Chain A
């Protein structure tokens, strides 16, 4: 009996010895990269900012070199098509690409037209286009958006629409560049698991670049880590965590850090993995129980719980020293237009106060009203009703720091003593003669903050409120740590800090208090340790692993986990 030899399908992506330099760039963006993705694989692309992740994705969809130009060497094949000779148009049939900024990914006026466009360009008949649009909208749970104008959508909705437009042609390979950077934790989790479902059910190969690895590591089959344009690791998620522990701790997930600090192995790729390991017989033998019912503190540990509870109470009471109010908002109502004639209440009776020196995270789903609240405080949006008291001054840094930079020399943006003082405050006094375009993303953000703060300082002190709107978009862990330091510094100088963020781990790192907004109302307001450990979506990975009130960071968790082990 003879069997026909099945033809092996071409790899979804095959890259060999790829080296690339952007036009007029001094640094090589990709150095000898070789990667092969078989059909149906879910691969995660990890690495710090500027490590070459986005460039690799652009090369895989043909934008590099066809759109960006530059010098390229090596070979790229996408589903058997030579991507260096074929352009992005030819590759569109087999590749879908979703970039970081959803605003630059929509080219049509309505959602339906946007999703339909690739099919229309391909020449599909109207009936088949209508069916494909309907199906992809259902798969991504956006049929209710089809008739909406794209400029009335939130960032999260836009991201889904961009994904739908990338998937509607049923491509074999989908490339995503930090698709969750603008999404709240709920939408971010939903997107990752939706990708996993598409990967399993449709057989779509996925290559996903992401900084918040804790969100997607558990969904991935494989991790490719990049450092300075080269592939520094290529293997399974558990092996990646072991590698990151030695090679680059900024790439460790919070759960992995919790385990490594506690001396527990193997390192977990996700919450379920961590809870299983903790519930394993080895740990039970040492006196622990399953995380959902455990008392990790044990009898000796009650002192530890007491210490955390004391901290929580201290935040509730306010810090020991008396402080002034940086901002007080009472019964604030704001109405905004959603379309031509449609208006809706975005803020509905908000009451919130921030003290000088206090660090507060403002959280909530996309469209909950976080940015509108900050804009109202800064006087950019009029309120219908309510009172805003800001005894000092307010400095607001919006989501696009680049909007603050209009001149070609840092010193020209910030002249005089007030400018120098602001530059010194953010640690950029050395860059006074630089062109803002030549600064790194983090430095540009600091410069924009200095511009907002200039003239609002009182000597070394900084009275009033400093508000930041989604400051960690596209930031790697190292840059987030720098920002946490800067926020602490501003608070020490007396400023009240109000930071709107979707990043739960970042909030846990800097905030003393968290205000959670839901559909324009405050649904939770309390100490960070309490709010970020009391839920599922708006909770840190460590809180979800341990399920202990007040334990939100790997360090706190490790302190708790070490106790029963030491005691036994």
Chain B
């Protein structure tokens, strides 16, 4: 069973773009998620990465990341609501709890948790789209000039997610197969085991990379596919998103405060930034071909580049 986050070659713009262009584009959306706390802006980033993922054909990855991200977001909301008692609008007084002390659930703490959870979910979805749409082989080759002396670094960057996804599936199966008398597997031991196991396996993969001559100072081979005609689109979109986000931030588009009372800015600049970010999700849209000839040309480009796997 393949992991939903595994890279699948498809003749779509995001997959055909160079790793640097794809990373610029997806990275710009992640930067906005960290730059902004306004829920409208964060929701717009989430919407943009979901649209981008779906246009790139990464439906399974987006679905899985949405489920995982929203679960994590819900967990963050609950924890924040229980541990933070700040805020004017008290929804429930739950009395004295061991470790937590006096627990007052406030609307403001819930909204603050929601912002944190939303940010985590958005970043997870963006990583899922990256993992499913950006060819790790091309990432590995692109990293060679930067991390040629460290196969481990290259492996961690390009392979950790697929390796961890495969390990997670196996560990989940093993957890289900434990006898009723064995200690149940909590999330923390499982996460620890997953991290340790994935790092171990990444080290093994790095050893293989060393054996393939990754750290050699050989002349870089001529590659069959150096650039894609979609690169410019993704670089431009990424840089535009960053420019709009920074300008918007300077103009007060990130107007938001959690405490003592929640205030969410819904001004024109906020809405303009959100609209621009959502529209950026359309960047992976495939232009409908005008003539039959251009369809053939597209397909040939895709099929030539996929099996070869070579080149940046």
Residues on A close to B: CB < 8 A?
A: 61-63, 66-67, 87-90, 92-93, 95, 97, 99, 101, 103-110, 112-113, 116-126, 129, 146-147, 149, 151-152, 165, 336-337, 339-340, 375, 378-380, 395-398, 400, 402-407, 412-419, 421-422, 450-456
Contacts and interface: CB of A to CB of B under 8 A. Distances in A.
Contacts of A455: 179-182
A418 B218 contact: no
Given A63-B207, A129-B221, A121 B213 contact: yes
A97 B213 CA distance: 12
Contact of A400 (B8, B159, B170): B170
A413 B183 contact: yes
B135 interface: yes
19 contacts: A92-B216, A93-B213, A108-B136, A112-B307, A121-B221, A122-B221, A125-B222, A126-B310, A149-B8, A337-B2, A378-B177, A404-B178, A406-B175, A406-B190, A418-B180, A421-B181, A453-B179, A454-B182, A455-B182
A418 B135 CA distance: 48
Contact of A105 (B9, B208, B218, B310): B208
Given A336-B1, A414-B182, A452-B177, A89 B170 contact: no
B289 interface: no
Contact of A89 (B1, B176, B210, B310): B210
Interface stretch (B23-31, B71-79, B197-205, B257-265): B197-205
B247 to A, nearest CB: 39
Nearest 5 pairs between A and B by C-beta? A455-B181, A418-B181, A113-B309, A454-B181, A455-B180
Contact of B211 (A63, A125, A337, A412): A63
B221 A398 contact: no
Contacts of A418: 179-182
A340 B162 CA distance: 15
A61 B208 CA distance: 11
Contacts of A122: 213, 216, 218, 221
Interface centre among A103, A110, A379 (most CB of B within 10 A): A110
A398 B170 contact: yes
Contacts of A417: 181
Contact of A407 (B1, B7, B135, B189): B189
A375 B177 CA distance: 10
Contact of B182 (A112, A116, A397, A413): A413
Interface centre among B204, B216, B222 (most CB of A within 10 A): B216
A414 B258 CA distance: 46
A346 B146 CA distance: 44
Contacts of B193: 405-406
B35 interface: no
A109 B9 contact: yes
A87 B175 CA distance: 40
Contacts of B310: 113, 116, 120, 126, 129
Interface in B3-60: 3, 6-9
B219 interface: yes
A412 B182 CA distance: 9
A107 B189 CA distance: 28
Contacts of B210: 62-63, 66-67, 87-89, 92
Contacts of A101: 204
A337 B171 CA distance: 20
Contacts of A397: 177
B183 A412 contact: yes
A455 B177 CA distance: 12
B179 A456 contact: yes
Interface of B: 1-3, 6-9, 135-137, 140-141, 144, 155, 159, 162, 166, 170-171, 173-183, 185, 189-190, 192-193, 197, 201, 204-216, 218-224, 306-310
Nearest to B135: A109
A269 B155 CA distance: 43
Nearest to B188: A406
A454 B183 CA distance: 9
B309 A451 contact: no
B214 A89 contact: yes
Contacts of A93: 213
Nearest to A96: B211
B308 A419 contact: no
Given A125-B222, A151-B3, A152-B2, 18 more contacts: A90-B216, A104-B201, A107-B140, A108-B136, A109-B136, A113-B137, A118-B213, A121-B212, A122-B218, A125-B221, A149-B9, A151-B2, A340-B8, A379-B176, A403-B174, A412-B183, A413-B183, A418-B179
Contacts of B173: 375, 380, 398, 403
B93 to A, nearest CB: 37
Contact of A414 (B155, B175, B183, B205): B183
A149 B136 CA distance: 12
A405 B180 CA distance: 15
